[in-house]
Each structure stands twice: as C-alpha cells, then as structure tokens.
Amino acid sequence: MFDFSNIQGNILRGYASFPHARFLYLAVHDAGDGRSLLKALLDSGSVTPAQWSEKPDAALNLALTFAGLRALGLPEESLATFPAEFREGMKVRAKALGDVGKSSPQWWDEPWKTSRVDILVMIYGRTEGALEERCRTFRQSLPAGVTELGPDQPAGFFSKDNEKARREHFGFVDGLSNPAVEGVSRDGGAGRSQEIGNPDERGRFRKIPLGEFILGYPGEGGDLAPMPLPNLLSHNSTYLVFRKLEQNVPLFRDYIAEQARSFARTIPGGLPNGVTAEDFLAAKMMGRWQDGSSLIEHPDRPTKALDNGFAYADDPAGARCPLGAHVRRTNPRDALGFGGKTMSRHRLIRRGITYGKPLPPDERDDERRGILFIAFNSGFDQFEFVQQLWVNFGDDFEQSNDGDPIAGSSQGGQMVIPGDETTGRRPFICFNIPRFVETKGGDYFFVPSLAALRLLASGRVRAS
Amino acid sequence: MADRARNKDGLGKAVTFNVITPMNRFGTCVVRVLLWIFDRWKRTQNTAKALAFLPFVHWVVIKRDRFPQLEGQPAEKLNYDYLFFLSTFNGPWETYIEAFADVLYVPLDLVWFWSIRYPMARPVAPLKRYIKRNQVESDHSYSAYPGASVRDVRAGLEVRRELELFEKNSRDLPPDKFATEFNRLLMSVQNKLGSFGPIPE
Ligand code: HEM
C-alpha cells in the first residue's frame, strides 16, 4: 500500500527502544555544502527509515525549517507552495500559540532565541555509547558550509523504580496514547504505546486514515492535505512540531500540595488506602493516575493498568475524568458526540522525550527540565487547533476561557473538578492555577521522505 | 474587516459569515420547497442546535428583482436569483466549514446543490474554495455579549435558573439543610462555571 522504507523513522512507530537522544541544530551557509551533507548521509544509509531489516544501534533523522529549505536552494516557486504557518515559523505564531510573557521568544533558550535553525538532526541511541558514537561520526561529516548552532540538546527517557513505562517530570507515565493509523500495525516490542483511533457513529473506535499524518494520502473525510510542489518532494513527507517545554516541578508540587488540603474535604468517606489527596488531585488534572491508569476505568485508585481503549461518553459530567483534564482535552475521543466528526481532524502523533534530571520527591533545585514536545501532523492546523482551542481555551469542553491545567498558557486560571453523585464527593474548584509549563524554543519543520531528501540533495527541483 | 465585534477587553467570540450564491429559476423553486420543509421538519434544526459552536444559521432566497437599491440608484439587471446564507460561529473558519461538511452535509448539499458550480460538501477542500470565492465580508457586526460563546450563554442561563431555584428553596433553612441544598446547587452547575469574557488579544 505504501512504502515504509521511504518514510523517515519515529513517525509511524516510535523510538521507544532508543532511550538516549541528542538534538543537533544546524545552520546552512552554503547551499552546495548543505546538499552534499544530505547526499553523504543518504549514500551511507545514515538516515533511518520507518522500516529496517536489522535493528540499528542508533537512529538519525532530519527535518528542515522553511529557512532550511531555502538555504538548500529550493526554488521560490516550490517554496511558495508550502503552507503559511510553516513559512512563518513558530516565532511568528507565538501569540496564537500562547507563547507570551515568560514564554515569548525573547526569553527562549539558545539557539532558538537568536538564530534560525535550518536543519534539525535527531539522533537516538539504544545505549548512551551508541548515541555518542553516532553523534561523533555525524559531526565529523559536517562540511565547512554547514555549522552547528549551540548548545545541542541532550534528552532521554527515564522511568521510576525499574518500571518499563517512562515518566515525565510531573511524575506521570507518558508515551501511552497515540493515534491508530490505517495500514500501520501495532507498535511491537518494547514500545508500550497503545494506539487509539477515532470514534465512529456507533461509538466504536476505527483506525485513522494515513493522510492525517503523512502527505500524499487521503485523510479524514477523504481529504488530501495541501501538497507542496513538486509531488515527489511532499509524497511520504510530513510536518513536525518541535517545542522545548520547560516544566516547573517545584511550582507544580507546591500547588498540588496546597490545593490538596481543601480538596480532601470534598471527599466524605476519605480516600482509599494508599491514595493521597495529592495523587487524586494531580490525577484529576491530568485525566490519568501518575502510574498511567485511566480515571475512566479506574476512578478510585491507580492500578498500573495501561489500557487505552476507554471512552468518555458514559462519563458526561466528568465525575470520573473531569471535562477539563489534560488527556480528555487533547484527545476528547467520543466526548464531543457527533460520531467523533468534530474531533477527528485534530489528532497528533506524539513522540516527545524528556530532558533534564528528574527531581526526587521532597527536593528542590535550580535544574532546568521538561519535555521536548515532538508532534507529527500533515498540516500545522492540526497542532495549532489543539494548542489554541483545546489546550489554551476551553469552550469545546464547557470550560469557557479556562485552559489546560497542566500545559495551558494562562496564568491564574481555574479548573472545576466535578463531584461524583455516586460517592457523594463534592465539586471542587482549583483557583489561581499558575503556569507550570513555559515554552523555551522550537519551530515548525518539514520532514522529507527519503526520496524527497534525495531530490533536495540533487539540487534539481522544479515545482512543476 | 468587521467579521466580529470588538470592545475594550478584546475580540468577540461570534464570527459572522455570509455567502451569496447564484441559482437559476428552477433551483429557486426547489430551494423554496426545501426550506419550507426544513422549517417544519425539526431534525436538521436540532442537529444544528446541538452543534454548540453555532449561534445562528439562516438561508434566504433573494429573487433577482428584489435586491434593494439606494435612493436614485438604478436597479441592476441580474441573470440569476441568489441564495443568501448567513450565520455566526465560534472558533476558526476552517473548523466551522469542516464540521458543517462532516455533520450537516445532507441538508447542505440539498440546499446548495442548486447553486451554480456548487462542488458538494465532501471532500471539503473544494467546498472551502467555493465558499471563499462567494463569501462576503461583514462591514459591521454587533454583538450584545461579545465575550460569550453559545455555550457561555447557555451556561449562564442555566446558572441563573438554578440560582433562582436555590434562592427560593434555601430561605430560612437551618445550616445543615442549607449545606445540602448548596451542594445540590453546586453539583447542578459544576460544568457551567468557566470564566468567560472576550478572547484577550
Ligand atoms: C509539558 C507539558 C506536557 C506534559 C507534562 C504532558 C503530559 C502528558 C501525559 C502524562 C499524558 C498521558 C500519557 C499518554 O497518553 O501518553 C499526555 C497525553 C497527551 N498529551 Fe500531553 N503533556 C504536555 C503537553 C502537551 C501539549 C502541549 C499537547 C498538545 C498541543 C499535548 C497533547 C497530548 C495528547 C494528544 C495526549 C494523548 C491523549 C490521549 O490520546 O488520550 N500534551 N500528556
């Protein structure tokens, strides 16, 4: 049906078994050198496709900004066919994305703050050693006309107590839920990701058409995402959203601890053994317990069950999972009705990875930590919709202007934790929620297919 | 462009939407019958009402000789009758068209089929192009509550109704009964308490 070996890796299947990563940022000063770098990488088979015959020790993938495509000498008539959001780049979109105040580009980390990254190089290793080795050989292959913009970005998955599931810095298991895509078999092996499609009229889940995530195929409603020209450049290519999201862990913990005291008073019979009010409140904000189990399936206590097939329709008032919780907003599943038709075009493949050292419980430090948010979609309208309408705004979920309690852009927002008639738990309102997550950089990238990289390397692109 | 109201606090939430498309005489007759049926048969209206980002949808047929003229302005000679679609919506334009095409494509196709060069609602890309070509921007728009979406208005009405009921039922209650009554109130409006106001610019 389609050719996995022509699509770059980490898109349709995640690199869960490559827990060590480093992101390098390149500036292309000479188009010829840029193209010969691509050519050398392709000739040596260094760009990792979605399918391999033998599992490599390290993987390398490339993505380009609009400036990067131009720096490689892509002709203007081709450049003009790329979508407006991509041409503008993430800095220009800052206001629309809620990157304001301390998240605005003037406060971003380097190289994002002062430079424009042309090429993003994503290197993953199964071991630290394999990663370092690949980084070293890559750096040696850089021609004079392509330089690295510092600092590079180390990242990696971490887990708790030898668990398999990986965590993010607020303490939740992450990397669980991703879209189930037509023609793509389940993530096997060490990948713990469990795919979930879009709901249909009967409330069952169906797979999502490939065109939502890869260019050149029909998407929801049979629509083809706009294709930059020439076709060879866009077919099997896609777009990547890269955001450095810094998490303020002490602020998050302090807020939860403080609110949990009053939250506990809304629970008449007290909490089940081993569950603290902090755990419960944090779970209500996320929509999952910290161990990843779902509030829909396991409303009273965490169970470590990582099932992802749950739906929201029989929890309409949010007694189990609040309407404003992070996972219910970012993928409302069947919560919005209409056979999923008002949410089906707003799905994202997430391949985020944490950076910085985890903060042990009850400790404080000045370390910087967070998530490198990585999302793939066949148009930036998918990401921008989720970010603007679902994360930073709440109307679709009866939350009016109130945003996501975990990742939203508002400072001092609120969230209602609906009560539960069956247990007598009363509604609770979290007021004055600080902004726990600040944007520290990132951009919009084009992820060429391997054939498209070859075309870019040849320098012989004609738009028609 | 004044496709939405604006006040000192920011941008209004309701976006106006006008599309004018030409139809021949036969189309005009069919569309009139269809609109008459839609008016009486509530199913389409109920679906439209359930789409809670949709404050208002309206179709009108304007016959070629019924266009208004300013004083002294000569009547133009038109070759077609026109179908005037007017609506307001909350949220982005693209999403609005997509939801329309995905959810309400049957009535949409029935009524617009008779307009010259209508491409059908699905796939949605040609429909978007068609609408862009025939959309007329509003010169003025007025909104009584620019800071309120349809859901905000519905929530506000609900909170008011419940509050009035509470006020009636809780008078002279002893503290423990009052607490029970208050908890009942809170439970009934818990998902209607979002903070609203214009979208900050
Ligand atoms: C630092 C900020 C963030 C943190 C800590 C965070 C954390 C999490 C966690 C723990 C989960 C549940 C585990 C899973 O399903 O993989 C999750 C799910 C998800 N998040 Fe985030 N997230 C953040 C930012 C964002 C942003 C900015 C977006 C979108 C613009 C987003 C979109 C999603 C989506 C789509 C899901 C899957 C929901 C589902 O399918 O049920 N996240 N996130």
Best of A100, A347, A389, A395 to substitute, by most chain B Cβ atoms within 10 angstroms, is A395
Check whether residue B125 and residue B170 sit in a common domain. Answer: no
Check whether residue B156 and residue B105 sit in a common domain. Answer: no
Summarised one tens digit per residue, pLDDT across range A161-175 is 888 899 999 999 999
- Is B201 within a domain? no
Check whether residue B51 and residue B85 sit in a common domain. Answer: yes
Check whether residue B127 and residue B173 sit in a common domain. Answer: no
Question: What is the C-alpha separation between B36 and A120, in angstroms, rounded?
Answer: 58
* CA pseudo-torsion sign B55, A381, B191, B100: positive
Summarised one tens digit per residue, pLDDT across range A40-97 is 999 999 999 999 889 999 999 999 999 999 999 999 999 999 999 999 999 999 999 9
Instruction: Give the A window 350-389 contacts with B, CB below 8 Å.
Output: 381, 385, 388-389
pLDDT of residue A464: 63
Residue of chain A minimizing CA distance to B155: A398
Average pLDDT over residues A229-234: 96
**Beta strand A146-156 pairing with A238-247:** unpaired
Check whether residue B97 and residue B185 sit in a common domain. Answer: no
pLDDT of residue A217: 96
Give strand pairing partners of A430: A415
Question: What is the C-alpha separation between A251 and B14, in angstroms, rounded?
Answer: 36
Residue to mutate (ligand 1; options A329, A350, A410; most atoms within 8 A of CB): A350
Question: How far lies B32's CA from each of A120, B64, B101, B112, in Å?
Answer: 58, 14, 22, 12
B122, with CB counted inside 10 A (0-12, 13-18, 19+), is: middle
Chain B residues in contact with A199 by the CB 8 A cut-off are none
| CB atoms inside a 10 Å sphere around CB A434 | 13
Q: What is the mean pLDDT of chain B?
A: 90
Question: What is the C-alpha separation between A459 and A36, in angstroms, rounded?
Answer: 10
Give nearest CA residue, ligand 1 atom 3. Answer: A407
Ligand 1 site, residue A371, Cβ cutoff 6 A:
yes
Best of A329, A384, A401 to substitute, by most chain B Cβ atoms within 10 angstroms, is A401
pLDDT of residue A186: 67
Closest CA to A207 of A344, A376, A313: A344
Average pLDDT over residues A303-317: 94
pLDDT of residue A115: 94
Q: Ligand 1 mean position to A176 CA, how many Å?
A: 9
pLDDT of residue A272: 86
pLDDT of residue A194: 83
CATH number at residue B103: 3.30.70
B90 CA: distance to closest CA in chain A (Å)? 9
pLDDT of residue A192: 47
Check whether residue B17 and residue B103 sit in a common domain. Answer: yes
Question: What is the C-alpha separation between A71 and A63, in angstroms, rounded?
Answer: 13
Check whether residue B180 and residue B127 sit in a common domain. Answer: no
Q: Bigger pLDDT: B6 or B122?
A: B122
- Is B139 within a domain? no
Check whether residue B66 and residue B11 sit in a common domain. Answer: yes
Check whether residue B16 and residue B110 sit in a common domain. Answer: yes
Question: What is the C-alpha separation between A281 and A258, in angstroms, rounded?
Answer: 11
Residue of chain B minimizing CA distance to A399: B194
Instruction: Give the contacts of A297 (CB within 8 A, at least 6 positions apart).
Output: A305, A307, A310
Nearest atom, ligand 1, residue A308 CA: 41
* Interchain contact B90–A (C-beta under 8 A): yes
pLDDT of residue A441: 98
Give nearest CA residue, ligand 1 atom 17. Answer: A327
- Subunit contact A419:B187, Cβ cutoff 8 A: yes
Q: What is the mean pLDDT of chain A?
A: 95
Residue of chain B minimizing CA distance to A381: B94
pLDDT of residue A109: 98
Q: Bigger pLDDT: B1 or A278?
A: A278
Three-state SS string over B131-200 comes to: HHHHECCCCCCCCCCCCCCHHHHHHHHHHHHHHHHHHHHHCCCCHHHHHHHHHHHHHHHHHHCCCCCCEC
* Interchain contact A426–B (C-beta under 8 A): yes
A154 CA: distance to closest CA in chain B (Å)? 36
Average pLDDT over residues A218-240: 95
Nearest atom, ligand 1, residue A371 CA: 1
Check whether residue B126 and residue B164 sit in a common domain. Answer: no
- Is B67 within a domain? yes
pLDDT of residue A247: 98
- Subunit contact B50:A341, Cβ cutoff 8 A: no
pLDDT of residue B53: 77
* Interchain contact B157–A (C-beta under 8 A): no
Q: Bigger pLDDT: A164 or B177?
A: B177
Residue of chain B minimizing CA distance to A395: B151
Residue B43 CA, distance from chain mean position: 16
- Is B143 within a domain? no
Summarised one tens digit per residue, pLDDT across range A94-113 is 999 999 999 999 999 999 99
Domain count, chain B: 2
Check whether residue B70 and residue B119 sit in a common domain. Answer: yes
B179 CA: distance to closest CA in chain A (Å)? 11
pLDDT of residue A84: 97
Burial annotation A339-378 (CB, 10 A radius, 16+ → b, else e): bbbbbbbbbbbbbbbbbbebbeeeeeeeeebbbbbbbbbb
Summarised one tens digit per residue, pLDDT across range B91-119 is 889 999 998 899 889 889 999 999 999 99
- Subunit contact B196:A414, Cβ cutoff 8 A: no
Nearest to B99 among A323, A342, A416 (CB): A342
Check whether residue B30 and residue B100 sit in a common domain. Answer: yes
- Is B187 within a domain? yes
pLDDT of residue B201: 57
Phi, psi of A76 (to 5 degrees): -55, -35
Nearest to B191 among A222, A341, A418 (CB): A418
Is the pLDDT score of A191 beyond 50? no
Please check whether residue A406 is in contact with residue A324, taking contact to mean a CB–CB distance below 8 angstroms.
no
Q: What percent of chain A has pLDDT over 70?
A: 98
Chain A residues in contact with B103 by the CB 8 A cut-off are 338, 341-342
- Subunit contact B194:A345, Cβ cutoff 8 A: no
Among A267-276, A438-447, B41-50, B168-177, the range scoring the smallest mean pLDDT is B41-50
Q: What percent of chain B has pLDDT over 70?
A: 99
Q: Ligand 1 mean position to A243 CA, how many Å?
A: 13
Residue to mutate (ligand 1; options A93, A213, A279, A330; most atoms within 8 A of CB): A330
Ligand 1 site, residue A436, Cβ cutoff 6 A:
no
Q: What is the DSSP annotation of A399-431?
A: -TT---TTT---SSEEEEE--BTTTTBPPEEEE
Q: Output the six-digit token pair for B60.
A: 């009108």
pLDDT of residue A189: 43
**Confidence class of residue B1 from pLDDT cuts 50, 70 and 90?**
low
Q: Output the six-digit token pair for A157.
A: 């998955």
Residue A405 CA, distance from chain mean position: 17
Looking at residue A346, its amino acid is: H
Residue A330 region by backbone torsions, left for phi larger than 0, else alpha for psi between -120 and 50, else beta: alpha
Which residue segment(s) compose the domain that B180 sits in?
Answer: 150-192
